[in-house]
Amino acid sequence: MEACRSISIRSLLLLVLILIILTNSAESQLSNNYYDASCPAVESVVRSTVQSHYNSDPTIAPGLLRLHFHDCFVQGCDASVLISGPSAERTSPANVGLKGFEVIDDAKKQLESMCPGIVSCADILALAARDAVDLTGGPSWGVPLGRLDGKRSSASDALNLPSPIEAISVHRQKFADKGLNDHDLVTLVGAHTIGQTDCRFFQYRLYNFTPTGNSDPTMNQAVLSQLQTICPKNGNGLTKVAMDKDSWTKFDVNFFKNIRDGNAVLESDQRLMGDDATRPIVQNYAGNIRGLFGIRFNFDFPKAMVKMSSIDVKTSYSNGEIRNVCSKFN
């Protein structure tokens, strides 16, 4: 009887252990040395490709970072945003203006000639985003690899991407739904330090933010005047504006200082100072002791990126593949 009970307990413990393994996070299924044997040149090829495109057009850096974010927040980090087609994800209004597709295609073409059928487009995109940050003076980090490319891409799936006009409470919930906390939210929004946006995405803040037709009262008046000059009321709204005043080509904490001082361009960025959960994080990054705030952000950003780039990754061929060409399914 005791022997049967012992076997039963061992069987139960074994079952629990199996369930823990099966339900472990996607991050643990990835590996920094995933391609060491099968395609050891993958990181150098991606890096040189990003470098080449960046030398010709520095705006490709924030483009790649945004492309990776938009990919991960829809169907997980599976390169679904790279698929080309009339109803594919990249055609969604939320993805208008995305850049960097040609960089991923270029790197993929080179890798297919060296290691055919080995490296996924999703992994190339994750590496390219890391290299984009590094090239603009930000931190670098080891990228866990081993993602497969997804087999679905639909424009309707991208409709729930975070929007600059949404309340911070909505953003917090959308990030939480992806397993990201408030600290991750603020840290990842820091990617806007090297970004630009169109006037049309914030023009309402300049002219008709309130019911009486006034500007957003939280906006610094000097910045308001500058933006009204760049984005006239009757303009086409397509003029590009830096999201990090005075420092948009350099990955640094100046972006958070701008939020603290009322200089943020996008409403959602400025609202980080109005939310009790996110305000202290912004203040910590903006800092008041020389040097410490930059170190803190450079330490946190890689961790948040690794966490984000592990959202709902595909590691089974039952729902993933290694695409031959990144813009179309096999």
The string of pLDDT tens digits covering residues 74-118 is: 999 999 999 999 999 999 999 988 999 999 999 999 999 999 999
The whole-angstrom separation of Cα 264 and Cα 245 is 8
Q: Return the pLDDT at 211.
A: 87
- The stretches in the chain having pLDDT less than 50 are 4, 12-13, 15-27, 289, 291
Q: Return the pLDDT at 59.
A: 96
Q: Where in the chain is the domain with CATH 1.10.520.10?
A: 42-161+311-321
The H-or-E segment that residue 299 falls in is helix 292-308
Domain 168-308, architecture per CATH: Orthogonal Bundle (1.10)
Task: Give the distance, in angstroms, between the CA of residue 320 and the centroid of all CA atoms in the same chain.
Answer: 21
3-state secondary structure of 242: strand
Q: Return the pLDDT at 197.
A: 95
Closest by Cα among 124, 135, 140 to 53 = 135
- Residue 183 annotated among the catalytic residues of the structure: no
Sign of the CA dihedral 278, 280, 281, 287?
positive
Q: Return the pLDDT at 221.
A: 93
Q: Where in the chain is the domain with CATH 1.10.420.10?
A: 168-308
DSSP annotation of 240 = E
The pTM for the full model equals 0.89
The H-or-E segment that residue 156 falls in is none
Q: Which residues pair with 197 in a beta bridge?
A: 241
Fold classification of 42-161+311-321 is: Peroxidase; domain 1 (1.10.520)
Contact 67, 125 (CB under 8 A): yes
Contact 252, 193 (CB under 8 A): yes
What average pLDDT is seen over the chain?
91
Set 53, 70, 171, 192: catalytic member: 70
